[in-house]
Amino acid sequence: MRPETVLYFAYGPDISSRWMRHVLSSVRPTMRGWLGQHRIYFHKLGTDGSGKCDAFFTGNDKDNILGLLYEIAPGDKDMLAKTGEFANGYAEKAVSIITDEGKKVDAFTYCATNIETALKPFHWYKGHVLIGAREFDFPGEYTSRFLSVESIDDPDSSRESRELAIQGIGQSRQLGRL
């Protein structure tokens, strides 16, 4: 780890380096890692009314989230906390991550505080998650968990276009209506 940086554990759309650099240009992806006793759900109430990712604590040793560790400058940590969804309905949480190499590292992440179990993510949101998982070679059996999540159309076509542009995609059809 570079001096004067902190580790951030990304597990949702922020796995994607394009998405993350859209938010903070100074971030640097470092390695994959696992958060134990947590499971991903798309049950965080987004400001747009759709489902967003949550690292939900289950206490079950069989539940593990694969994510990506980013190095972030300490000053940018505050900026991240004020960005979009992170500023609404998430709380920062200190976590211990086990890297692919088996090393334990301390990081921070965000967990949902505003949960509604019936929510569904927009196609573009789920697309960010899948693009990031593929970018960092997440195993197919892990990525298939996201494929099985039902997603919905975003009624705001301009928001959808902005989000797809982050990944260089013109239409959500190019995501295969994941």
> Quick one: pLDDT band at residue 26, thresholds 50, 70, 90?
confident
Q: Which domains does the chain have, with CATH numbers?
A: 6-175 (3.10.490.10)
Query: Which tokens go with 88?
Result: 């609404």
Q: What is the mean pLDDT of the chain?
A: 91
Quick: pLDDT tens for 111-158. Answer: 999 999 999 999 999 999 999 999 999 999 999 999 999 999 999 999
On whether the CB atoms of residues 146 and 45 are closer than 8 A, the answer is no
Among residues 145, 166, 149, 174, the alpha carbon closest in space to that of 50 is found at: 149
- d(CA 54, CA 66) in angstroms, rounded, equals 13
| Residue 56 β-bridge partners | 39
- CA dihedral (122, 125, 129, 134) in degrees, to 10, reads 90
> Quick one: pLDDT band at residue 80, thresholds 50, 70, 90?
confident
Q: Is pLDDT above 60 for 98? A: yes
Q: What percent of the chain has pLDDT over 90?
A: 77
Task: Specify the pLDDT at position 83.
Answer: 77
Q: What mean pLDDT comes out for the span 38-52?
A: 96
Q: Is pLDDT above 70 for 1? A: no
